[in-house]
Amino acid sequence: MCPEPGRGGQAVTAPVRGFALALLLSVRAFGDVQVQAEAAIPDSSSPWGPLLILDQTVAPGSKSAFLLTEDRDFDSSFVNSSVWVVRGASEGPALCLTAGIHGDEINGVEIARRVFSSLDPDKVSGTVVILPMINLAGIRSGERYMADRRDLNRLFPGRRDGSLASIVAAGVFKLVTKHCRALIDLHTGSFSRLNAPQIRVSLNRPGALDMARHFGSGVVVLGNGPTGSLRREASEAGIDAIIYEAAGPHRFDAEAAQVGADGVRSVMAWMGMTKMPVKTIPFNSIFRRTYWERVPLRGGGFFFPEVEIGARVQPGDQLGTIHAPGTDVETPIIARRAGTVIGMAVPQIVLSGYALFNIGIEGSDVFPGLLLQESSDPTAPEVDG
């Protein structure tokens, strides 16, 4: 029988506790190095110089790829994911890109790679810090959750003395909050659904809202995000943070990756970090609220949609049909409110209550300056997925 953790010095003999402790030491190690590095970071009044991050020095006009920690502990493989840094040749803002918080969402990982690979540091003003594969074990195995079965994106800002996922969250959060003014967290949509490429952002930070608009493609959905998500917690820590997600999990979608990488580049140009073109999402693609049309009670069966992503619908419009296999009865799925289809289930067998169509209700009335309280469906299945 395992001894209870934390009692009478038995922690080192308890496998689970020992596992967490070793990780803690790994994270503490890079945390301590970072403290040293922070002291050496020039403040805004200092001349632009090398960036000291973790135990690395990245010179102006250069790129660097290294690991979060070089530890060789048995379990450090959970925290030694990649860190990529672009230190621009000239002074400018600091942008963080995070990806792979959910291990099955590999399109965000590929977006991060494309951005890093394509940036010429001599043509960048400022710094880009990229954490492309945060849930490294999950990415290797295709699993959304961390090795301890927890959702990393509900555990920020994390705790160094918490669970495995919480320890990783603490390390990531510290890096992001110390080094970045703005954050783009890259995700992928859900299995068995199609989503318009979408950016989610809180109404509370006008700078983040502007940043979301200048992603340039897809739609913007307003909302604070769930407690413990990196976007929400970073926002509350004073960082302009948005989340982007597109396409489905487990496979690369070249078009979604291209749209995402172009969007990040557009945000960078808008922030003054490059001289590339800036794109802007129109006001009528900003949605203040969303709601779901679901399978009615006892309405399950074979589902076929009859509209496409991006369709504008009116109350009473038929969105799709479910055929009940036992009775051959057809159940039409009818829109209750006007809006735009921004997400939908693919043709499949569905059961009562399954979310079929995500309808966005335009939020153009929040501009300019008139900020309304957001009101989103708390039961929506994909919130910062």
- Binding residues for Zn ion (CB under 5 A): 102, 105, 187, 385
Q: Which of 257, 271, 79, 260 is nearest to 175 (CA)?
A: 79
Supply the minimum distance, in Å, between the C-beta of residue 185 and Zn ion: 8
- Smaller CB distance to Zn ion: residue 63 or 187? 187
- Smaller CB distance to Zn ion: residue 154 or 181? 154
Helix (H, G, I), strand (E, B) or coil at 166: helix
- Smaller CB distance to Zn ion: residue 300 or 385? 385
Q: Which of 141, 136, 128 is nearest to 168 (CA)?
A: 136
Supply the minimum distance, in Å, between the C-beta of residue 225 and Zn ion: 11
Q: Burial-class residue 74 by CB neighbours within 10 Å (0-12, 13-18, 19+).
A: exposed
Supply the minimum distance, in Å, between the C-beta of residue 186 and Zn ion: 9
- Smaller CB distance to Zn ion: residue 113 or 187? 187
Q: Burial-class residue 251 by CB neighbours within 10 Å (0-12, 13-18, 19+).
A: exposed
* Residue 265: partners with Cβ closer than 8 Å, 6 or more residues away: 115, 118, 274, 276
Overall residue count recorded for the chain in this entry:
385
Supply the minimum distance, in Å, between the C-beta of residue 144 and Zn ion: 7
Strands in the chain per DSSP E: 51-53, 56-58, 62-67, 82-87, 90-99, 125-131, 182-187, 193-195, 198-201, 219-222, 240-245, 286-294, 301-305, 312-313, 318-323, 330-334, 339-345, 348-350, 355-362
**Dihedral sign, Cα of residue 49, residue 52, residue 58, residue 64:** negative
- Smaller CB distance to Zn ion: residue 71 or 382? 382
Supply the minimum distance, in Å, between the C-beta of residue 153 and Zn ion: 6
The one-letter code for the residue type at 119 is L
Antiparallel, parallel or unpaired: β 348-350 and 301-305 = antiparallel
Q: Which of 165, 161, 134, 139 is nearest to 228 (CA)?
A: 165
Helix (H, G, I), strand (E, B) or coil at 62: strand
Give the integer Cα–Cα distance in Å for 235 and 177. 10
- Smaller CB distance to Zn ion: residue 99 or 239? 99
